[in-house]
Structure 1
Amino acid sequence: MKLIFMGLKNISRKWTMPIRDWGAALNQFAIIYGEDRVPL
């Protein structure tokens, strides 16, 4: 578990691309879970 965590931590530092269609996903989360639980 620690190796997976450390690997993900290193990868996330190098990630420079924006998340594709994040706005649409965030809107769906707000509809499903309510806007008070999803930071917009």
Structure 2
Amino acid sequence: MSGNDGSKVVTVIKPLKIVDISDLWEQKTLERYYFDTKKLKE
């Protein structure tokens, strides 16, 4: 039973971490995309 509880905690924490990382990655990718677009236009 304690094993199930442990996996539950990991399941809850993991998605939160993945969301944070993907959000940061997406933000950086968008910033880089806009930066590249501005560079190409100039």
- TM-score by structure 1 length? 0.37
TM-score, normalised to structure 2's length? 0.36
Larger helix percent = 2
Larger Rg: 2
